[in-house]
Amino acid sequence: MVTIKNGSANRNGALFSGIILTRCTQKIFRFCAAGLITAAVFLASPVSGQILMSGGTYAQNFDALASSGTANGWTNNLTLPGWYASKASADSTTFSAGSGTSVTGGIYSFGTNGINPASDRALGSLASAGNTYAYGVRFTNDTASAQTNIIISCTGEQWRNGGSGVAETISFYYAAGSSPMTNSFSAAAWTSFNALNFTSRITSASSAALDGNAAANRQVFANVVLTGVVVQPGQELFLRWADTDDAGSDDGLAIDNLTVSFNPTAASTNTPPPATTIFTNGAITLMTYNVKGNGVADWSTNTAQVQAIGRELVYLKPDIIAFNEIPYTNTWQMANWVTAFLPGYFLATNSGTDGFIRSVIASRFPINRSQSWLSHANLNPFGYTNNSSQNADNFTRDLFEAEINVPNWPLPLHVFTTHLKSTGTDYADSAAKRAAEAAAITNFFATNFFVLSPAHPFTLSGDMNDSDTNTLAIQRLISPPTTLRLTNPTNPFTGSINTYSIQSSVSERIDFIFPSALLVSNIIGAQVFRTDLLTNFPSNLFSNDDKTASDHLPVLMTFANPFDTPFKLLSIARTNQNVTLKWESQNNRNYSIEASTDLVAWTLFATNLATTTTNATYTFTSNNVPDRIKFFRIYRVP
């Protein structure tokens, strides 16, 4: 069973992110002749000072640190419960309170009377004399279930520019294991995780103290999924930041407003599974939906708009949803959406934003990773200039990607979504900017994605803000370099492809799903969904839900498993004891060959015949095959 818990209960930090933890939990039962045997997990009591994962969301704003003094005592697990600091391989015993004026190396409590009062502290360091300073927090999994997909939010702050002219970094690492970890330098085998690295924002050659609370000197890390980490019951998790000594005078870097979210309880075996359908053969349904969140102050599951969206989601049961126009300041509420409407789903929320709205991707299946591409990228190389303001000629938001592990697919599915520039008062300028954004996306696929994942299936969907498919933006998105294809889902009652606006006149199609060439030939269903036209009305849906939910209509598309297709045996040749078989194959699939003397009894003849080229011909040759073996058959390993 997949469970999910939101972290909206704890708002202790100055920066609060309602963060999401998705977790796979399974109670194991073993049957034998004697009856039912159950496996029980017994947890040891945690060492004092560790932070327990059963608490749900942990928040730390570091305001308990001293705001004055240059030789304050630091004691691991005591100065800040659960926190450890080190200088090189030794534990730190002191820390300084400062505002970025000092050049002395050490652990620091940074703060000043500036943007925020001096009581607002941040934990950081200034490396020197060849020493690495490291600090971090230690957790224990005291629940009965494995913890995974842990979500972290924090703010990186720069409090001093050392003047070296080079960007410096405090690097994030983690470690998980059964042995106690009580030293932030050498307690474990550390794994780097670059998504939470903080790099100095100011790199000029003039050294100076900075206000780390100023927007120009900080970076917000919101809802970052700690992918690939599994913390078993009884194990520990240590999160740390390390500051190595760089050449020249170092920068003063810190973290603040940390939140880490865990699932506080084990899943109950009596909890019914969500009322959803999972295709066992690998077919999936993708939905794209602009949910009109721009300017919405209340994004909770108590509002009429969100409940209408939720009823649509529960009724339609899409496997993957690409949301546009999630209000930026209420991204944390998406945890509650999952709890209420999409139990067990995974979320990717780390998309770029224009400061008002962003994209979010939800998936029934595990999300391996998510990444924001082209966030505020300069569009000058793609033929668009606008000097009306500093960032007017930058990409409005981003191209957002979630890499999803679909069951029975040998390769992951890459789901991309974007929300192109809306039409403002100057239609020509808006259209030109959309065309440039589309060109940037096309260039990304050609020079980045196809280089890294040339054979992987992918889709691009979202609000393109263009209703004419002959416009330059749409034509660029479906041009040959992208391999994307234009599709035309319709409403089953009206036959219309239009998606906007259900709140006035449904006269435009601006929401699209563009599948890759591999997927377009495997479309088995598609529609533009409207509640107001349904017949035999379901009890859990209202006729005006489409109008209450958004001004856009959701678009859905179902794909068959593109890898579950028949293949042909092209030829078989035998010369004495030499046998050659040729058949159609697919990328990243394994094949086996069985042999028989009588078509009744079959034995395994060859295994692990892996392919590497899409739809290529696979040739297998074997020598010294006994004369008695006369029949062969090939099967594709699931």
**pLDDT over 90 at 607, yes or no:** no
d(CA 530, CA 425): 30
Q: Report the CATH architecture of 2-261.
A: Sandwich (2.60)
Q: Under DSSP, is residue 490 helix (H, G, I), strand (E, B) or coil?
A: coil
Q: What integer pLDDT is reported at residue 18 of this predicted model?
A: 26
Which pair of structure tokens corresponds to residue 304?
């009429």
Q: Are strands 320-327 and 284-290 parallel, antiparallel or unpaired?
A: parallel
The total number of residues written for the chain in this structure: 638
pLDDT tens profile 378-394: 999 999 999 888 788 99
Residue 482 pLDDT class (50, 70, 90 cuts): very high
Whether the link from the prior residue into 501 is cis, omega within 30° of 0, is: yes
**pLDDT over 70 at 444, yes or no:** yes
pLDDT tens profile 79-113: 999 999 999 888 999 999 999 999 999 999 999 99
Highest mean pLDDT among 245-254, 417-426, 565-574: 245-254
**pLDDT over 70 at 6, yes or no:** no
Q: What integer pLDDT is reported at residue 31 of this predicted model?
A: 27
Give the torsion sign (CA, 226, 148, 404, 567). Answer: positive
Residue 638 pLDDT class (50, 70, 90 cuts): low
**pLDDT over 70 at 52, yes or no:** yes
**Using the 8-state DSSP alphabet, how is residue 380 labeled?**
G
CATH class in words for 284-559: alpha beta
Residue 216 near residue 208 (C-beta atoms within 8 A)? no
Which pair of structure tokens corresponds to residue 147?
């913890």
Residue 591 pLDDT class (50, 70, 90 cuts): confident
Nearest to 196 by CA among 173, 230, 227, 168: 173
Nearest to 556 by CA among 515, 516, 507, 502: 515
Residue 271 pLDDT class (50, 70, 90 cuts): very low
Q: What integer pLDDT is reported at residue 616 of this predicted model?
A: 66
Mean pLDDT of the chain: 84
Task: Choose between 22 and 139: higher pLDDT.
Answer: 139
Q: What is the CA radius of gyration of the chain?
A: 28
Residue 125 pLDDT class (50, 70, 90 cuts): very high
pLDDT tens profile 202-256: 989 889 999 999 999 999 998 888 887 888 888 899 999 999 888 888 999 999 9
Enumerate the β-bridge partners of residue 347: 362
Q: Where are the domains of the chain?
A: 2-261, 284-559, 569-636
Q: Under DSSP, is residue 59 helix (H, G, I), strand (E, B) or coil?
A: strand
Q: Residues 142-163: what's their mean pLDDT?
A: 88
Query: What are phi and psi for residue 5, nearest 5 degrees?
Result: -135, 140
Give the torsion sign (CA, 218, 224, 227, 231). Answer: positive
Q: What integer pLDDT is reported at residue 454 of this predicted model?
A: 84
Beta strands in 546-630 (DSSP E): 555-559, 569-575, 578-584, 590-596, 602-610, 617-622
Q: What integer pLDDT is reported at residue 428 of this predicted model?
A: 87
d(CA 65, CA 109): 6
pLDDT tens profile 175-215: 998 888 888 887 668 999 999 999 999 989 889 999 999 99
